[in-house]
Structure 1
Amino acid sequence: MYLPPERVRTEPPSGGRPGLGSRTEPEPHRPQLHYTPAKNWMNDPNGLVWHDGEYHLFYQYNPEGDGWGNMSWGHAVSTDLLHWQELDVALPADDAEFVFSGCVVVDEHNTAGFGDFALVAVYTSSYPGTGIQAQSLAYSTDRGRTWTKYAGNPVLDIGSGEFRDPKVFWHEPDGHWVMAVVEALARKVVLYGSENLKSWTRLSDFGPAGATGGAWEVPDLFPLPVDGDPQNTKWVLTVSLNPGGVAGGSGTQYFIGDFDGVTFTADNLTSGSQDCSWVDYGRDFYAAVSWNNVPGGERIWIGWMNNWADAAHVPTAPWRGAQSLPRTLALRSLGGAIRLVQQPVKAVRTLRCGAASTLRDHEVGPGRTTLPVRGAVLEIAAEFELGTAERFGLTVRGGTAGEGTLVGYDTRSGELFVDRSSSGATGFSPGFAGRHGGPLPAVRGRTRFTAYIDRSSVEVFGDRGQTVVTDLIFPAPASQGLGLFAEGGTVTLRSLEVWHLS
């Protein structure tokens, strides 16, 4: 039954950001939960590392404008992965090179000779004059505030124009550095080894495999325990590709297997994009990479919340580009297979404002029902018991003239989905409007998910993160309605909890 209306919060709580959702807000689509630079273009996250009490987020950045170009590394730091301080550009482009994607490691034992515990960036130099892409180094001895490019750059050059995005980690059993880097158009991840970050030896190749409909980019390779058992560890290789993603445009796939310090061997080799293991079934999660050196060994990553097919046209200003919520990764046994699962970092719960508005054991009939809760920045946890409805779920960021985004479940296909066909501004890019979803089996006749709604995005995590859908949306600022819908029959809402987030 419904809570009495007077007990349900209908406006954002006091103490939130002034002007939240107001028509006079000068940047109505500026995210409140997600990192964006103050101005200009941003794409891939780079150089994710924890060091000396700070999480570092570097990213592909254009200091000169809101379109792709002049690729440099922007920089922000945080102590909790939620509140970010934007710093000066870390690695600027110049006439000699663009600074493409890469990583940062903490060189605890001074293997490169830059100093104990120096931060060392391993990045792709893209040389405008020749089109060659090669791997280079830069280092910092002042907590990442200033950087010096290594005089001996590049440190790895195979003479290719499609050789990029190094991710480096220390492999303790063998006592050496390992680099995963892509030969993009060959659809290969190539592994290299080094004792000092400066001299690299080719170890092995992986691929082509899985989805091969576009260029491979931004690899990551890391171990995770299965079902939390440290005695049963598998390795995860993630690879982004553009185009060829599951929702069209760019997307990210993963492989699970074993790594012996030289070779990665996948257990779940597949061919054809429809058979791949996707990290996110939405259209707007790309180039995700994980933080190095996180205390306690947690594996946390973040992705560019955009799609190369739409990114140049999204209607935001003076910035263009946002990062996803940081997500904690795990491996879970599901349906006889091991799957990568992800959920927002627990610190997101600290953004909740007061108690949740709740609704329990409510039958949802055909059509749409408006709830007495409104908001542009929300956390929503829902559980439904299947009935006769073919599709059902929530309408978020609802407004006049039928505006709203559907977050729901399709019983015919067994899919969790986001439908942004009527989400607001959609005409700026031909493929933007539409429905995106992924498989989510019902458990004992029920389905559950948690959705994080921000001013210009929806991130949905089905059944503790086994299926994730991330989509950008650009509704009118006043469109803050929340409702329920069912099509083709009825469904029972067993529980609904809604928190405003500040």
Structure 2
Amino acid sequence: MTDLALSSSLLFASTHPDPAFPRFHPRPAQGWINDPNGVSYINGRYHVFFQYNPHSARHTQIQWGHVSSPDLVRWEEHPVALVPQAGGPDSAGCWTGVVTSDDGVPTAAYSGVQDHGGHSQVVIARGSSDLVSWEQNGHVAASMPEDPLVTAVRDPFIFRFNGARYAMQGAGLADGRAALLLYSVSDMENWEYQGIWLTTADPVAAVHTPAEIWECPQLVQVSSGEWVMMFSLWLSGDDHEHANGVGHLIGSLSADPETGLPVFSPVSGGKSDLGRDFYAPQIMQLSYGSADTEPAALLWGWANEGPGRDGRRGRTQEEIDDAGWSGVLTHPRVLSVVDGTLVVAPASEVEAYRGASVVAGAAGSVAVPGFAEVLVRGAGSGSVDLVLGSGDEAQVVYSATLAAGEELRIFIDASLVEVYRSGAVATTLRAYPAPGESWTLALPEGATADVWELALPTQ
């Protein structure tokens, strides 16, 4: 593969006819995308799959799209990986799931839906060593539990604990609780159901992760003794609005003294992103730690299009249809836990997109390009406001106060804004510049900003 090929999915973005199309977040030029799937690091490459409808900018006929990278900077777009099989357990869609190495064989485990009725099964597919070609034979590794209390199941996630492989799925129960189902996975093709593992009846979960269904459940270790469990908080009638957003629990994982099965004990939690345009993240466990290293994890999330939220101007469905594309994946994000709090930061690799300096140490009102990275250092009082447009049409897209010593890193990629606050979680937002509109950063007295244009790396 050549360097040019590795950058191809970003190179075409610079000539995309829609000025709102992101240039520094890889995705196909057309079609709908949502949940990141199968994020993995196999055979020296990062792979990110995603829910994908190549035929329109609407959430139907869901397949798996695929991009990969050797370095989280140069991305290559691959052919569609998984497609619904006529008459198979995924005939109504290949939905959210994961990719893992099963004795050296790349293997996808995903929610297959046969009839749009909400009942999914875990379907297995096997991939080539480069994860570009996939064999789908319709094998079902886990069906809906026979327990009548379990009314909805989706989104398998695989994790390891004490040398063994386990999986969980998000679920909804007949009594209105959201739940997790636990499986032992000694054989990828035959998952052993262990029962309901955790529900919103847990007092910590009830406060921090309220939902009717826990979608896209994730479980990763981010420090020696702390595990992060993350959920997308589904409510009936959401229709991609997702008012409860994404939440997480922080706790410990221990072995049940009788069964040896993992037991998750949450002690705290919170929102995993403070923006209304963020949902369905997937986390990849890079390492489980050793005597010399801390465990590490990377997260990707989905930023959807929409009618505008929190006073921001959005796009109508007609405008989305005319544009021919919908949905963006965030930058890869590094997770850590500091003093019992989840901290989310951009992966250091994205600094490769930092181009020419626009201004350094600026104060007051600062003009910001439409493709930019901004570093704000705070002091004094007052708010930092990121404003799109001017006059009566101006929108305050993001506003925050900063204490002395705090920093904000802001990435603007056409219509996608990601804000990373030191010591906290991120904020993901969508905003659509009208023709002639530009960005301005309004700083309080004592705060300064460095601004860079974003640029593709030359090699």
1:166 aligns with 2:156: yes
The equivalences for 1:104-119 within 5 A come to: 104-107=99-102, 110=103, 117-119=104-106
Deviation at 1:323, TM superposition (A): 0.4
Of 35, 56, 59 in structure 1, the residue corresponding to residue 26 of structure 2 is 35
Q: 1:406 to 1:193 in 2, by over 3 A?
A: same
The equivalences for 1:55-454 within 5 A come to: 55-96=46-87, 97=90, 98-107=93-102, 110=103, 117-128=104-115, 131-150=118-137, 152-158=139-145, 162-171=152-161, 173=162, 175-185=163-173, 186-203=177-194, 205-208=197-200, 209=205, 210-225=208-223, 232-243=224-235, 249=243, 251-260=245-254, 261-268=261-268, 277-293=270-286, 298-306=296-304, 313=317, 315-316=319-320, 317-333=323-339, 338-355=340-357, 357-359=359-361, 362=363, 364=364, 369=365, 371=366, 373-387=367-381, 389=382, 392-399=383-390, 401-410=392-401, 443=403, 445=404, 447-454=406-413
- SS of 1:170's equivalent in the other structure is strand
For 2:436, the equivalent position in structure 1 comes to: 478
Contact 1:72 1:89 in 2 (8 A): yes
Q: How far apart are the structure 2 equivalents of 1:293 and 1:468?
A: 20
Contact 2:397 2:431 in 1 (8 A): no
Q: 1:90 to 1:292 in 2, by over 3 A?
A: farther
Q: How far apart are the structure 2 equivalents of 1:35 and 1:215?
A: 29
Q: 1:461 to 1:455 in 2, by over 3 A?
A: same
Q: How far apart are the structure 2 equivalents of 1:154 and 1:284?
A: 33
Q: 1:250 to 1:100 in 2, by over 3 A?
A: farther
Deviation at 1:95, TM superposition (A): 3.2
Q: How far apart are the structure 2 equivalents of 1:18 and 1:104?
A: 27
Listed as ranges, the gaps of 5+ residues in structure 2 are 1-9, 255-260, 309-314
Deviation at 1:17, TM superposition (A): 7.4
Q: How far apart are the structure 2 equivalents of 1:348 and 1:309?
A: 29
Q: How far apart are the structure 1 equivalents of 2:159 and 2:213?
A: 23
For 2:3, the equivalent position in structure 1 comes to: none
Q: How far apart are the structure 2 equivalents of 1:312 and 1:250?
A: 22
1:468 aligns with 2:458: no
Q: How far apart are the structure 2 equivalents of 1:65 and 1:214?
A: 29
Deviation at 1:90, TM superposition (A): 0.8
Q: How far apart are the structure 2 equivalents of 1:211 and 1:28?
A: 36
Q: Which has the higher contact order (CA 8 A, sep 6+)?
A: 1
Letter in 1 for 2:222: L
Letter in 1 for 2:419: V
For 2:7, the equivalent position in structure 1 comes to: none
Aligned alpha-carbon RMSD (Å): 2.9
Q: Which has the larger radius of gyration?
A: 1
Contact 2:286 2:298 in 1 (8 A): no
Q: How far apart are the structure 1 equivalents of 2:318 and 2:49?
A: 22
Q: How far apart are the structure 1 equivalents of 2:264 and 2:252?
A: 6
For 2:257, the equivalent position in structure 1 comes to: none
Deviation at 1:300, TM superposition (A): 0.6
Contact 1:358 1:496 in 2 (8 A): yes
Deviation at 1:184, TM superposition (A): 3.1
- SS of 1:90's equivalent in the other structure is coil
Q: 1:292 to 1:139 in 2, by over 3 A?
A: farther
Q: 1:158 to 1:248 in 2, by over 3 A?
A: closer
Listed as ranges, the gaps of 5+ residues in structure 1 are 1-15, 111-116, 226-231, 269-275, 411-441
TM-score (normalised: structure 1): 0.74
Q: 1:312 to 1:278 in 2, by over 3 A?
A: farther
Q: How far apart are the structure 1 equivalents of 2:78 and 2:408?
A: 36
Letter in 2 for 1:500: E
Over residues 79-100 of structure 1, what are the superposed CA-to-partner deviations in whole Å (9 max), with x where a residue is unaligned?
2223322211111013332211
Letter in 1 for 2:438: Q
Deviation at 1:155, TM superposition (A): 3.1
Q: 1:183 to 1:447 in 2, by over 3 A?
A: same
Over residues 370-429 of structure 1, what are the superposed CA-to-partner deviations in whole Å (9 max), with x where a residue is unaligned?
x3x441011111123223x4xx2133443565434343325xxxxxxxxxxxxxxxxxxx
Q: How far apart are the structure 2 equivalents of 1:236 and 1:211?
A: 13
Q: 1:154 to 1:251 in 2, by over 3 A?
A: same
Q: 1:329 to 1:348 in 2, by over 3 A?
A: same
Over residues 146-201 of structure 1, what are the superposed CA-to-partner deviations in whole Å (9 max), with x where a residue is unaligned?
11124542433325662110011233x2x321102111354001221121112223
Contact 1:456 1:475 in 2 (8 A): yes
TM-score (normalised: structure 2): 0.80
Q: 1:183 to 1:314 in 2, by over 3 A?
A: farther
For 2:5, the equivalent position in structure 1 comes to: none
Letter in 2 for 1:471: L
Deviation at 1:483, TM superposition (A): 3.6
Letter in 1 for 2:453: H
Contact 1:250 1:308 in 2 (8 A): no
Of 436, 446, 453 in structure 2, the residue corresponding to residue 492 of structure 1 is 446
Q: 1:280 to 1:262 in 2, by over 3 A?
A: same
Aligned residues: 407
Contact 1:376 1:397 in 2 (8 A): no
Q: How far apart are the structure 2 equivalents of 1:124 and 1:460?
A: 32
Q: How far apart are the structure 1 equivalents of 2:410 and 2:244?
A: 22
Q: How far apart are the structure 1 equivalents of 2:62 and 2:280?
A: 16
Contact 1:181 1:189 in 2 (8 A): yes
Q: How far apart are the structure 2 equivalents of 1:312 and 1:242?
A: 23
